[in-house]
């Protein structure tokens, strides 16, 4: 399995398994199957409300802890030095693990610096292997790096053929921070799975559009987190190492960039309002 070395020295699988929008029963079954298929990185979050299911599937698999790379995330309501520490310990408890390989600040809101100090302390105590952020754009990353001691290992970002973020990736590379692609299929939006450019490239290689979308990110050095509840798709999404897109094909895919978020814009006031509305009244609103 192809891995990438983080700035902590740890090796992280280039292809992980995401469990967003999976109810606990579906999640436990899907993670069990994903581990059977060969995935070793599982990406969950406290806000997905399925950490216990992930933990149950891990225990049932019998795979040794050292072979796995488990990520979770702290959500907005738990930002701050004390609250973030407590949230991490709750995540560990739910997962039934005694450390995580990676723990991320899910969104760039709330007391980011207090939260970061809590994460740094957990790393120093040996209870957490690596720390990072998600949905931090270049300005937030630069500001964060100026004011902390341990630099993020990861910035998990919306990254797919319709939102390619080349400038932001260049900055992350300069800072030694590894990007990681969430929604590598844009959840199928904009007809990604039937896009004619991607379909023609897929046909030329005897692969699927999904495999081409993943392969394109991998070839630009970006690890990916495809999500599927279907075993055949888990197999398909994992089998992306044994073919190579040509430079011309990479250039064709570059033309698909719409250069703006397709799913979530952390700078949009409407999104910020939606998240705080959800936290203030989760019964009336839903979080995506
Ligand atoms: N940090 C963040 O803010 C953030 C935000 C969003 C997501 N994430 C992470 O990134 C992971 C992936 O993102 P995502 O779940 O939003 O979307 P995604 O992986 O881009 O797309 C998932 C969708 O694609 C379908 N699919 C998967 N493989 C397919 C294939 N080979 N052919 C056709 N359809 C396929 C899935 O359907 P089926 O399930 O029915 O197969 C599902 O509807 C998440 O699970 C989560 O771990 C993080």
- Judged against a pLDDT cut of 60, whether residue 47 lies above it is answered with yes
Give the dihedral sign, CA 232/237/242/247: positive
- Judged against a pLDDT cut of 80, whether residue 178 lies above it is answered with yes
Q: Which two tokens stand for residue 155?
A: 């910035």
CA-227 nearest atom, ligand 1: 19
Domain extent listing, the chain = 3-280
Provide the pLDDT for residue 287.
62
Gap between the Cα atoms of 182 and 44, Å rounded: 11
Strands lying side by side in the sheet with 102-105: 17-18, 41-43, 69-74, 102-105, 131-134, 154-158, 178-182
Q: With pLDDT > 90 as the criterion, what percentage of the chain qualifies?
A: 97
Protein residue whose Cα sits closest to atom 47 of ligand 1:
18
Compute CA distances 35 → 46, 56, 261, 282, whole Å.
21, 12, 31, 32
Provide the pLDDT for residue 46.
98
Contact 69, 41 (CB under 8 A): yes
48 CA → ligand 1 middle, Å: 13
113 in ligand 1 pocket by Cβ < 6 Å?
no
Mean pLDDT within 248-276: 97
Residue to probe by mutation, ligand 1, list 27, 185, 198, most atoms within 8 Å of CB: 185
Interval 4-18: pLDDT, tens: 999 999 999 999 999
Contact 42, 17 (CB under 8 A): yes
Provide the pLDDT for residue 95.
98
Interval 266-278: pLDDT, tens: 999 999 999 999 9
Compute CA distances 245 → 16, 165, 190, 213, 215, whole Å.
20, 19, 22, 10, 7
Q: With pLDDT > 70 as the criterion, what percentage of the chain qualifies?
A: 98
pLDDT band at 19 (very low <50, low <70, confident <90, very high): very high
Exposure of 106 in the CB half-sphere (CA atoms within 13 A): 22
Annotate 129-141 with DSSP letters as a single string: S-EEEES--HHHH
Protein residue whose Cα sits closest to atom 13 of ligand 1:
183
Helix 166-175 with 138-146: angle, nearest 10 deg:
10
Burial class of residue 66, CB neighbours in 10 A (0-12, 13-18, 19+): exposed
Gap between the Cα atoms of 277 and 215, Å rounded: 37
Mean pLDDT within 209-237: 98
Which among 124, 12, 118, 2 has a CA at the least distance from the CA of 71?
Answer: 12
Beta bridge partners, 163, equal 160
Gap between the Cα atoms of 248 and 95, Å rounded: 44
> Cα–chain-centroid distance for residue 114?
22
- Judged against a pLDDT cut of 70, whether residue 118 lies above it is answered with yes
The conformation of residue 152, written as its DSSP 8-state character, comes to P
Please identify which residue in the block is written with the tokens 């798709």: 233
Gap between the Cα atoms of 85 and 169, Å rounded: 29
- Judged against a pLDDT cut of 70, whether residue 82 lies above it is answered with yes
Helix (H, G, I), strand (E, B) or coil at 229: coil
The conformation of residue 49, written as its DSSP 8-state character, comes to T
Mean pLDDT within 94-100: 98
- Judged against a pLDDT cut of 70, whether residue 227 lies above it is answered with yes
Catalytic residue IDs: 48
pLDDT band at 286 (very low <50, low <70, confident <90, very high): low
pLDDT band at 281 (very low <50, low <70, confident <90, very high): confident
Provide the pLDDT for residue 284.
66
Provide the pLDDT for residue 119.
98
185 in ligand 1 pocket by Cβ < 6 Å?
yes
225 in ligand 1 pocket by Cβ < 6 Å?
yes
Helix 51-61 with 81-95: angle, nearest 10 deg:
40
Helix (H, G, I), strand (E, B) or coil at 151: coil
pLDDT band at 168 (very low <50, low <70, confident <90, very high): very high
135 in ligand 1 pocket by Cβ < 6 Å?
yes
Provide the pLDDT for residue 58.
98
Protein residue whose Cα sits closest to atom 14 of ligand 1:
183
Indicate the fold that domain 3-280 takes in CATH. TIM Barrel (3.20.20)
pTM of the model: 0.97
13 in ligand 1 pocket by Cβ < 6 Å?
no
42 in ligand 1 pocket by Cβ < 6 Å?
no
Mean pLDDT within 71-96: 98
Residue to probe by mutation, ligand 1, list 133, 210, 228, most atoms within 8 Å of CB: 228
Beta bridge partners, 155, equal 133, 179
pLDDT band at 1 (very low <50, low <70, confident <90, very high): confident
Provide the pLDDT for residue 265.
97
């Amino acid at each position: 399995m192809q891995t990438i070395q983080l700035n902590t020295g740890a090796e992280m699988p280039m292809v992980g398994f995401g469990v967003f929008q999976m109810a606990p029963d579906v999640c436990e079954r899907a993670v069990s199957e994903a581990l059977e298929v060969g995935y070793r990185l599982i990406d969950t979050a406290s806000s997905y409300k399925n950490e216990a299911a992930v933990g149950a599937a891990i225990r049932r698999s019998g795979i040794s802890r050292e072979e796995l790379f488990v990520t979770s995330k702290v959500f907005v309501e738990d930002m701050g030095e004390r609250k973030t520490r407590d949230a991490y310990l709750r995540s560990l408890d739910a997962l039934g693990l005694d450390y995580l390989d990676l723990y991320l600040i899910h969104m760039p809101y709330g007391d980011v610096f207090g939260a970061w100090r809590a994460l740094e302390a957990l790393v120093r105590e040996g209870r957490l292997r690596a720390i990072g952020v998600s949905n931090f754009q270049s300005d937030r990353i630069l500001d964060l790096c100026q004011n902390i001691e341990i630099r993020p290992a990861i910035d998990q970002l919306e990254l797919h053929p319709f939102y390619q973020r080349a400038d932001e990736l260049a900055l992350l590379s300069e800072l030694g921070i590894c990007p990681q692609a969430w929604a590598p299929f844009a959840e199928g939006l904009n007809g990604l799975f039937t896009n004619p450019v991607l379909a023609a490239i897929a046909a030329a290689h005897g692969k699927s559009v999904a495999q081409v979308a993943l392969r394109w990110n991998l070839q630009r050095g970006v690890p990916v987190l495809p999500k599927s509840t279907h075993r055949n798709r888990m197999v398909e999404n994992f089998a992306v190492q044994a073919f190579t897109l040509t430079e011309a094909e990479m250039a064709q895919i570059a033309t698909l960039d719409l250069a703006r978020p397709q799913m979530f814009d952390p700078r949009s006031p409407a999104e910020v309002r939606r998240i705080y509305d959800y936290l203030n009244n989760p019964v009336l609103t839903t979080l995506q």
